[in-house]
Chain A
Amino acid sequence: MDEQYFVDSQALSEEALKKKHSLENDPSSRTDHMKYMDGQEQIKSDIREKVLSEVRSYDPDKYSAADVRRALEKQNPGIEDLKAMLSPAAEPFLEKMAERARIETRKHFGNTVYIFTPLYIANYCENYCVYCGFNCYNDIRRMKLSMEQIEHEMKVIADSGMEEILLLTGESRKMSDIKYIGEACKLARKYFRMVGIEVYPANVEDYKYLHECGVDYVTVFQETYDSDRYEQLHLKGHKRVYPYRFDAQERALMGGMRGVAGSALLGLSDFRKDALASALHMYFLQRKYPHAEISLSCPRLRPIINNDRINPMDVSEKRLCQILCAYRIFLPFAGITVSSRESETFRNGIVRIAATKISAGVSTGIGDHESKYTGKEESMAGDEQFEINDTRSLDRMYKDMSDEGLQPVLNDYLYV
């Protein structure tokens, strides 16, 4: 059923191909995805069970128009209301949901929209996640920036006026270890006021260290909360361990981080259940750690290098908008980030309703900011994780947001 994801590269040896095919076709050749690997810290937490028991009992088809109406009229919508707003019964109420979502967004965030940019510093990866451009069997140019190269990229980005940066790597503890990421974060502190990371899940001690290096925000995507589906898509590597990934945000908070973000990658499994799980994951985290800032994203599947057949399946723009409105109404105080995977038109529209954070000047490749920002050619660059859709620079984004009647904000926090 997942053939559209499988691509055999000619660069792979016969042995590697054999291993790849066996992982794809023979479930018994894969490891137990619920079993922690050596070195993966296990924390005591009830959040996973709380989220998953709600998802298990969720039947999107049992909700009616009356349930949706009731949810939209409530002052403080609860979990049942969230379920109704994510159900098919809510689809005809999209405009009503957007109106309510806009009121909540304006109430909690005023007319601000926050702008940031991601910087990929390495794309080595030990995982085989079948839908990802960085997967270890995909034949792409791999690269890891040196500290000098990272600093150069940061200078180029900082010169554009950007004040918040999100540092990303592929998931390879070997090629981009915690120390390497920490050193990059220390450099980032020199050029930016806010540093976030989106790297492989780590232990509490690692997060403590990274926080000392200047990181405030940790983003981890669960990809899908459906454990059986997760097992079929993450065939190899550390990422295969579902519960270790699930608890990443909580470990980050235990390590002293100020905020965490997460979400499913919509299109991999039942999107309504994954959206419900994403919202509840952040909701229960915030209840347990009331000081934490929580944030949701909303990535949909995109084509990758060597595979243009990958698409967001049944998650249309309207449904994505429905999900974001439901998030906003249920979690009025949560940040919502909308990715450059989406089009300029969609992003302009959704910041008027629910989103509070938007990226600009984006490249998902490695070491190519100078060529993208200034037009200067560069000799070597690493390949991209996925194709982006909205390529606007910071200047253009700033202007476009102002033209929408919004106030662009580049930073609202000082690291302490």
Chain B
Amino acid sequence: MRDTKYLLPDNYETIKATEILAKEGFVVMPYMYPDLNAARDLVNAGAATVMPLASPIGSNKGLATKDFIQILIDEIDVPIIVDAGIGRPSQACEAMEMGAAAVMSNTALATAGDLPMMASAFKKAIEAGRQAYLSGLGRVLVRGAAPSDTLTGFLRD
């Protein structure tokens, strides 16, 4: 552990550890900081999943690294599991809508007022997010500049 204050993962050492463990026959599910090149190296080292953090572990701060997690979901062929930082059911739902295969939650539940009720809320949120992802999210309207003349008017046949 190279950082005892934030408990941030060390991608470089994790890649090396993944390679050793995968060679020894372990199914390796590495926690990591969402970096595309490191994620590719983890997959090449034999990782079964890639598990990026959403924000510092135990912080309940939610999807602070959202854009970078989306890049991993788009580019990496193994399942992406969002690990660390998810603080509310709505954040878990959002991660699932993005196409994450699963989320990991501990502190969000452990620090909740009623743990079983919060666990049930997470379950519903995760199911809702997954269904939304599978059904294909609807469009978001953006204001588009319409060109004054047609772009395809030059085509002859």
Contacts and interface: CB of A to CB of B under 8 A. Distances in A.
Interface of A: 70, 73-76, 94-95, 98-99, 102-103, 287, 290, 316-318, 321, 343, 345-346, 348-349, 352-353
Instruction: Provide the main secondary structure of the chain B interface.
Output: loop
Contacts of A70: 136, 139
Interface of B: 36, 40, 74-75, 77, 136, 139-140, 144, 146-147, 150-157
Nearest to A316: B157
A345 B36 CA distance: 42
Nearest to A346: B154
Contact of A318 (B136, B147, B151, B152): B152
A348 B151 CA distance: 11
B89 to A, nearest CB: 25
Contacts of B155: 316-318, 321, 346, 349
- The majority secondary structure among interface residues of chain A is helix
B85 to A, nearest CB: 24
A98 B151 contact: yes
A350 to B, nearest CB: 8
Nearest to A98: B151
A95 B140 CA distance: 20
A102 B155 CA distance: 16
A343 B77 CA distance: 41
B156 A345 contact: yes
B152 A290 contact: no
B151 A99 contact: yes
Contact of A317 (B139, B140, B144, B157): B157
B156 A317 contact: yes
A95 B74 contact: no
A98 B152 contact: yes
A322 to B, nearest CB: 9
A345 B151 CA distance: 12
Contacts of A346: 154-156
Given A99-B144, A316-B157, A317-B157, 5 more contacts: A287-B75, A317-B155, A343-B156, A349-B152, A353-B152
Contacts of B152: 94-95, 98, 318, 321, 349, 353
A244 B144 CA distance: 45
8 contacts: A95-B151, A99-B146, A99-B147, A316-B157, A317-B155, A317-B156, A349-B154, A353-B151
A94 B153 CA distance: 10
Interface centre among B144, B150, B151, B153 (most CB of A within 10 A): B151
A367 B136 CA distance: 56
Of the candidates B75, B77, B147, B155, the one having the most CB atoms from chain A within 10 angstroms of its own CB is B155
Contacts of B144: 99, 103
Contacts of A353: 151-152
A316 B157 CA distance: 5
A352 B153 CA distance: 12
Nearest to A290: B40
Contacts of A99: 144, 146-147, 151
A102 B151 contact: yes
